[in-house]
């Protein structure tokens, strides 16, 4: 296990391109180098040097000869330093000089979960559109905590402000005051493609012959081929390494006569997952890819005293509740919606015959239970997953215990179906962020114990059913099982509310490679041994799709309308990452 060093820089004004150049020219991990798609790929833990995860960094020994860190970086085996000239006024820097280690023995994802990449928000027709967008992003914060941005327009000018960190940290009253106008779009981000610093924060704005266009994108494009090179030959100057910019550059270089035609033509050219909101100085656009991978909903706030209604778009409907907006409908896969002073219009940019592939993991884990995703309440799906799991995999036990927070709703369903009492046998500390601990603390599962604390009075002597929504690498699950036993649990039976995760996602979700996914490399019995549970069972795929389609609010959803690729390895699009089809090598 490497020693890890860490440093954090927060705020605007970094010079990320120097970091990218250095990484490409140095011992950058393979996944960061130029790929056939022409953009750096998902960031993964390097074996030496380079960077990991949510930021980019250049170790002292690399080509530019000094450390440069943007965002939050974890640099194994290298001295990291923050240079003054990389820090602009107002920037907070917090270098940590002593070697320290990351909580959870390197499980940098909280509770070893997959990570959603982005949330998007748009508002048309409100006098303080930027503030409304801010509140929407605030509700969508769980979809990305690395950077956020808002662009607004007053009919004449477009302004945008982006920053690293949480929405509430970036958008103070003072900052929001610089974003006037009745139109706004916003974005909160954790990256998959492109590096992860301020450079790639969104909205991304590009000047075109039809004026400035700003875009905020949730998802991940695939099969880009030589689109970027082609656009560069056409004179496009890319500002970012994000695949999202391809869309807006295609629009800017389209030769169609109207902006709507330019957008429709451009969207028809790209493949993969995209739920996007765009704006010009006087219009809002919202679109979803033809497969409908990621969610995007439309809502409305009724105007008062004869004022026109306000239209809002958001990745999840929980954003509407804070704004008192009423959910109207989802943006349909392959649909482009435009809102202007003439009202709302809609057109298709792809045929309706494209099979839908809505991400089922939104219902399993990503989305908030109080959101309606793909037209269906997430809470309803999760509770049914728990019920179905109880029917498929019962266990003799005294208590149903969720792994908080994401396992709670499924655990309630399991308890209701099985008749076994439910209780919070594990208490979560919600205030633990990315935490670094001393080497001597590392051996005692300190990181997990900081986040979760067992209720000895509930667990002692009990046979418990521990409900979680996924096992990704398995290391955190093992620590939780051990924690329950140490608190006196007589038996621990693990139940997972989805099938084994065997394949990575290419559609806007940060997943480890196949080699790191425990279920891609071990049988269920081997995983049970690894996590040290008395028994282990996963929800079946049929049980999962049933859970997301049964009941009242399953309007128009069918089991075949979901993407389930991370459970099956069968992808709705053609593209496959060579790195992820290499033979599995993971061990314990």
Output the smallest distance, CB 25 to ligand SF4, in A.
32
Residues in contact with ligand SF4, counted by CB under 6 A, come to a total of 11
Residue 378 interacts with ligand SF4 (CB under 6 A): yes or no = no
Output the smallest distance, CB 367 to ligand SF4, in A.
11
Cβ closer to ligand SF4: 59 or 292? 292
Among 176, 214, 360, 466, binds ligand SF4 (CB under 6 A): 360
Among 75, 505, 537, 554, binds ligand SF4 (CB under 6 A): 505
Residue 359 interacts with ligand SF4 (CB under 6 A): yes or no = yes
Best CA proximity match to 12, nearest among 120, 112, 123, 89 = 89
- Retrieve residue 336's tokens: 């482009």
First to last CA, the chain: 13
User: One symbol per residue from 66 to 105: x for binding ligand SF4 (CB under 6 A), - otherwise; what is it?
Assistant: ----------------------------------------
Cβ contact 378:357 at 8 Å: no
Cβ contact 410:383 at 8 Å: yes
Residue 564 interacts with ligand SF4 (CB under 6 A): yes or no = yes
Residue 509 interacts with ligand SF4 (CB under 6 A): yes or no = yes
Cβ closer to ligand SF4: 113 or 482? 113
Catalytic residue, candidates 118, 505, 563, 566: 118
Please spell the DSSP secondary structure of 86-101, one letter per residue. G--TT-EEEE--S-BE
Cβ closer to ligand SF4: 4 or 562? 562
Phi, psi (5° rounding) for residue 439?
-55, -40
Among 507, 512, 517, 561, binds ligand SF4 (CB under 6 A): 507
Asked, as a colleague might, if the bond just before 471 is cis with ω within 30 of 0, I would say no
Alpha carbon distance 172, 174 (integer Å): 5
Output the smallest distance, CB 418 to ligand SF4, in A.
27
Among 73, 130, 408, 563, binds ligand SF4 (CB under 6 A): 563
**Is 262 part of the annotated catalytic residue set?**
no
Query: H or E element: which one contains 524?
Result: helix 524-531
Cβ closer to ligand SF4: 222 or 359? 359
Phi, psi (5° rounding) for residue 506?
-110, 10
Output the smallest distance, CB 43 to ligand SF4, in A.
17
Q: Write b or e for each residue in 368-386: b if 16 or more Cβ atoms lie within 10 A of its Cβ, otherwise e.
A: bbebbbbbbbbbbbbbbbb
Output the smallest distance, CB 452 to ligand SF4, in A.
24
Q: SS3 for 4?
A: strand
Residue 539 interacts with ligand SF4 (CB under 6 A): yes or no = no
Beta bridge partners of 204: 215
Among 361, 414, 422, 538, binds ligand SF4 (CB under 6 A): 361
Residue 9 interacts with ligand SF4 (CB under 6 A): yes or no = no
CA angle 156, 159, 162 (to 5 degrees): 165
Beta bridge partners of 276: 217, 287
Site for ligand SF4 in 282-301 (CB under 6 A): 293
Active site residues: 118
Q: Which residue ranges make up the site for ligand SF4 (CB under 6 A)?
A: 293, 359-361, 505, 507, 509, 563-566
């Amino acid at each position: 296990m490497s020693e890890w060093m860490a440093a954090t820089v927060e705020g605007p004004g970094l010079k990320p391109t120097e970091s990218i150049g250095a990484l490409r020219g140095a011992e950058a991990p393979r996944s960061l180098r130029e790929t056939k798609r022409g953009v750096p790929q998902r960031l993964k833990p390097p074996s030496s040097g380079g960077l990991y995860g949510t930021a980019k960094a250049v170790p002292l020994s690399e080509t530019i000869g000094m450390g440069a860190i943007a965002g939050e970086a974890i640099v194994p085996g290298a001295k990291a330093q923050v240079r003054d000239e990389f820090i602009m006024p107002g920037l907070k820097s917090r270098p940590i000089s002593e070697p320290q280690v990351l909580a959870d023995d390197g499980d940098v994802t909280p509770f070893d979960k997959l990570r959603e990449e982005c949330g998007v928000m748009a508002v048309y027709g409100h006098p303080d559109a930027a503030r409304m967008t801010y509140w929407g992003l605030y509700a969508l914060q769980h979809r990305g905590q690395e950077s956020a941005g808002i662009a607004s327009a007053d009919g004449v000018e477009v302004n945008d402000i982006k920053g690293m960190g949480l929405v509430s940290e970036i958008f103070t009253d003072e900052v929001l005051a610089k974003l006037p106008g009745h139109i706004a779009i916003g974005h909160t981000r954790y990256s998959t493609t492109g590096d992860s610093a301020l450079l790639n924060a969104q909205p991304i704005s590009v000047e075109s012959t039809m004026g400035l266009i700003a875009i905020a994108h949730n998802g991940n494009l695939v099969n880009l081929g030589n689109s970027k090179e082609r656009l560069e030959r056409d004179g496009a100057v890319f500002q970012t390494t994000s695949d999202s910019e391809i869309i807006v550059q295609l629009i800017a270089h389209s030769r169609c006569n109207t902006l709507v035609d330019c957008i429709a033509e451009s969207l028809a050219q790209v493949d993969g997952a995209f739920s996007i909101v765009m704006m010009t100085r006087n219009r809002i656009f919202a679109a979803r890819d033809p497969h409908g991978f990621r969610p995007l909903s439309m809502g409305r706030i009724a105007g008062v005293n004869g004022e026109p209604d306000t239209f809002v778009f958001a990745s999840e409907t929980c954003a509407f509740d804070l704004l008192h907006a009423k959910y109207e409908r989802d943006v349909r896969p392959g649909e482009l919606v435009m809102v202007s002073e003439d009202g709302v219009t809609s057109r298709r940019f792809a045929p309706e015959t494209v099979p839908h592939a809505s991400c089922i993991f939104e219902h399993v884990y990503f989305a908030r239970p109080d959101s309606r995703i793909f037209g269906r309440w997430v809470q309803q799906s999760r509770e049914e997953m728990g019920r179905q799991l109880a029917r498929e995999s019962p266990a003799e036990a005294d208590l149903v215990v969720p792994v908080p927070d994401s396992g709670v709703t499924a655990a309630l369903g399991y308890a209701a179906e099985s008749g076994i009492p439910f209780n919070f046998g594990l208490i979560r500390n919600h205030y633990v962020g990315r935490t670094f601990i001393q080497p001597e603390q590392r051996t005692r599962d300190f990181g997990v114990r900081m986040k979760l604390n067992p209720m000895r009075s509930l667990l002692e002597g009990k046979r418990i059913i521990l409900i979680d929504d996924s096992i990704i690498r398995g290391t955190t699950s093992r620590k939780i099982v051990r924690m329950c036993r140490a608190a006196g649990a007589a038996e621990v039976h693990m139940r997972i509310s989805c099938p084994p995760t065997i394949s990575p996602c290419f559609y806007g979700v940060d997943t480890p490679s196949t080699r790191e996914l425990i279920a891609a490399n071990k049988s269920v019995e081997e995983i049970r041994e690894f996590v040290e549970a008395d028994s282990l069972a996963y929800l079946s795929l049929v049980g999962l799709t049933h859970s997301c389609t049964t009941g009242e609010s399953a309007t128009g959803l069918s089991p075949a309308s979901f993407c389930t690729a991370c459970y099956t390895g069968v992808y709705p699009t053609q593209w496959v990452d060579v790195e992820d089809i290499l033979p599995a090598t993971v061990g314990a």
